[in-house]
Amino acid sequence: MCGIVGYVGNRPALNVILDGLRRLEYRGYDSAGVAVLDGRGGLAVERKAGQLRNLEARLDELDVPFEGTAGMGHTRWATHGGPTDRNAHPHRDGTGKVAVVHNGIIENFAPLRAELEAAGVELTSDTDTEAAAHLVARAYADGPTAGDLAASVRAVCRRLHGAFTLLFTHAEHPDMIVAARRSSPLVVGLGEGETFLASDVAAFIEHTRDAVELGQDQVVTIRRDGYDVTDLDGNPAEAKPFRVTWDLAAAEKGGHDYFMLKEIEEQPTAVANTLRGHLTDRRIVLDEQRLADGDLRDVDKVFVVACGTAYHSGLLAKYAIEHWTRLPVEVELASEFRYRDPVLDRQTLVVAISQSGETMDTLEAVRHAKEQKARVLAICNTNGAQIPRESDAVLYTHAGPEIGVAATKTFTSQIAANYLVGLALAQARGTKYPDEVAREFAELEAMPDAMAAALDGVEAARELARDLAPSRAVLFLGRHVGFPVALEGALKLKELAYMHAEAFAAGELKHGPIALIEDGLPVVVVMPSPKGRAVLHAKLLSNIQEITARGARTVVIAEEGDETIRPFAHHLLEVPAVPTLLQPLVSTVPLQVLAAEIARARGYDVDKPRNLAKSVTVE
Ligand code: F6R
């Protein structure tokens, strides 16, 4: 949800900023813009609607040299104001001396804009952001903060409601950037004689791995030789230094046409990394556990809250946690959770699943749960993100950076992490003996190999994709753990191939959806194991016959060796046989490939589907 880069150093800033933006484009690509301070009192700004390449083409056409060793850039996911040139960031004040880039939403932008207009300020965009540039310029020009950029930024930020990461430059301060954050990410990168600011370390990992994570409501001033941090009142504040453990290669495409295709292939490693180190002495150990064992023992109800793909992983958590612990589990879309007054208390465990750790719907659900005294455990892929910071405990998935907008390896890693939570609860409540916990863990540990085998078999899905690409719609059917997999398969197809795709619990078919079946309609069916789930297998086999009789073209995901299915599948995609609860880890793989390849065949950008962004920091 908008990517931000800032740089103060000795190198030409423009190149550093554009390289950084390229790595942050997953956060939004409705427009891009840069501002460079030339060191002589000039501030050059250029911005362009569309992907970063449009801005780069524009910069190539210009004869104005963007010289200077300090500046900032922005790649936008539009919220307030359409994705046009005039709404692209950076925004400037009327004198052109102050520039701002912003990630988040300034909720009280309307009264602030009205106040500025009443004072005769001409606003040139439809955004919530522009007001911040004018307000900082006015605070800098006059009054108690005059001539002090950091103090002006603090004074303005104290007036802002909502979520923001804001970076400000002033033409009179060519060697500094002042930034502030609230509920939106911001990290500082510390190089040799150069300092960076970014929404995500990926923007500067090429230059340095030494980083500092800003806290809530902090303001940072960066210079060539360092940084200082205060709170919004100007008191010195502590920010958390850390060293990035992954390298540039992890954020590059590694020979693949798209990040998503690389990330699909990385799934066995990602799941292995999620599991690594979590079983010691036949005991499950979670990461940052600010919950005592007794807290887990006392849990009498579990809520899982998440959005999108993470929600689908949460649906799977229910099967495992209820089965292993006998605790009731409710899985809820984070955006619905707090608005329906769920019954929560100290004995409720809320598991918040979020790859980015920034999703505003999930963050607000966490805050609501905490207000009601529930314990919150986050499952997250991004170290130090806001959701884990505000939770009582965190289990990191360690899947590595996921750049493709569509979640793949983080989905399967979340499934593994959910199961670890289930085992941790079972162990704390004594519903599983240590030997049983160790046995379940060993089955999980065998999954990376099974997923690698599933990946070896995806050629059939690739070929089928070319065939299915012209279809108007695709239906997905599943039962038990196959149902969330069907939902995820349909979501991937919608978001990547822009096709109408809908998933149903197969048992529901006869209650309405069967009316959708018409001649030639592709229907993807996720089959359970004929051995592990014989009764459900038989029922799905009947469903397949019912839809085939009505003209459906069936694409069946089935366990290797499931011969009973062959006569009824127009297309068969086989996956390795694994224990029932773990089947989603393999059956998801061909569905991810199918969606990516159909999108490719339809000529769409697999990594940057239209209208989407990787992390959704607005409600
Ligand atoms: C779909 C997708 C989204 C995310 C959702 C939650 O491929 O990626 O549906 O799963 O926006 O994001 P996180 O996990 O960052 O909270």
What's the whole-number average pLDDT of the chain? 94
pLDDT of residue 617: 74
Among 162, 171, 158, which residue's Cα sits nearest to residue 100? 171
- Distance in angstroms (rounded) separating the CA atoms of residues 366 and 350: 8
Superfamily of domain 259-445: Glucose-6-phosphate isomerase like protein; domain 1 (3.40.50.10490)
Beta carbon of 356 within 6 Å of any ligand 1 atom: yes
Beta carbon of 313 within 6 Å of any ligand 1 atom: no
Q: What distance in angstroms lies between residue 615's CA and the mean position of ligand 1's atoms?
A: 7
What pTM did the predictor assign?
Answer: 0.83
Only one residue has tokens 């002033």, namely 170
Q: What distance in angstroms lies between residue 304's CA and the mean position of ligand 1's atoms?
A: 15
Residue 585 confidence (pLDDT) above 80: yes
> How would residue 485 be classed by pLDDT, with cut points 50, 70 and 90?
very high
Contact 333, 311 (CB under 8 A): yes
Q: What distance in angstroms lies between residue 308's CA and the mean position of ligand 1's atoms?
A: 5
Q: What distance in angstroms lies between residue 309's CA and the mean position of ligand 1's atoms?
A: 5
Phi and psi at 4, nearest 5°, equal: -130, 135
Beta carbon of 495 within 6 Å of any ligand 1 atom: yes
3-state secondary structure of 54: helix
Residue 306 confidence (pLDDT) above 90: yes
Residue 417 confidence (pLDDT) above 90: yes
Which of 409, 492, 608, 614 is labelled catalytic?
614
Q: What distance in angstroms lies between residue 353's CA and the mean position of ligand 1's atoms?
A: 9
Q: Rounding to the nearest 10 degrees, give the CA dihedral for residues 460, 609, 269, 378.
A: -130
Beta carbon of 205 within 6 Å of any ligand 1 atom: no
- Distance in angstroms (rounded) separating the CA atoms of residues 184 and 358: 7
Count CA atoms closer than 13 A to 598's CA, side-chain side.
30
Mean pLDDT confidence for 541-558? 96
pLDDT of residue 25: 87
Mean pLDDT confidence for 230-249? 90
Q: What is the pLDDT of residues 19-58, one digit of tens each?
A: 999 999 888 889 999 999 998 999 999 999 999 999 999 9
Beta carbon of 615 within 6 Å of any ligand 1 atom: yes
Domain ranges of the chain: 3-250, 259-445, 455-601
- What six digits make up the tokens of 366? 């966490």
Among 268, 306, 452, which residue's Cα sits nearest to residue 387? 306
Of the candidate ranges 50-64, 158-172, 458-472, the one whose mean pLDDT is the lowest: 50-64
pLDDT of residue 245: 82
Ligand 1 pocket: which of 260, 307, 362, 608 to mutate (most atoms <8 Å of CB)? 307
> How would residue 262 be classed by pLDDT, with cut points 50, 70 and 90?
very high
Beta carbon of 381 within 6 Å of any ligand 1 atom: no
Q: Judge if 259-445 and 455-601 fold alike in CATH terms.
A: yes
Active site residue 409: no
Q: Which ligand 1 atom is the nearest neighbour of the CA of 355?
A: 14
Q: What is the pLDDT of residues 64-91, one digit of tens each?
A: 778 999 999 999 988 889 999 999 999 9
Q: Which fold has domain 3-250?
A: Glutamine Phosphoribosylpyrophosphate, subunit 1, domain 1 (3.60.20)
> How would residue 247 be classed by pLDDT, with cut points 50, 70 and 90?
confident
Q: CA distances (Å), 55 to each of 46, 60, 252, 345, 359, in order?
A: 8, 9, 21, 51, 28
pLDDT of residue 255: 74
Beta carbon of 135 within 6 Å of any ligand 1 atom: no
> How would residue 256 be classed by pLDDT, with cut points 50, 70 and 90?
confident
Among 242, 99, 105, 63, which residue's Cα sits nearest to residue 179? 99
Among 434, 451, 447, which residue's Cα sits nearest to residue 579? 447
Q: What distance in angstroms lies between residue 609's CA and the mean position of ligand 1's atoms?
A: 13
Q: Which ligand 1 atom is the nearest neighbour of the CA of 406?
A: 7
Active site residue 2: yes
Q: What distance in angstroms lies between residue 459's CA and the mean position of ligand 1's atoms?
A: 26
Atom 3 of ligand 1: nearest residue by CA position: 308
Ligand 1 pocket: which of 27, 259, 309, 496 to mutate (most atoms <8 Å of CB)? 309
Beta carbon of 305 within 6 Å of any ligand 1 atom: no
Taking the CB of residue 537, how many other CB atoms lie within 10 A of it?
20
Residue 615 confidence (pLDDT) above 80: no
**What DSSP line would sit under 106-145, residue for residue?**
ETTHHHHHHHHHHTTPPP-SSSSSHHHHHHHHHHHHSSTT
Residue 603 confidence (pLDDT) above 80: yes
Beta carbon of 308 within 6 Å of any ligand 1 atom: yes
Which class does domain 455-601 fall in? Answer: alpha beta
Ligand 1 pocket: which of 184, 360, 616, 617 to mutate (most atoms <8 Å of CB)? 616
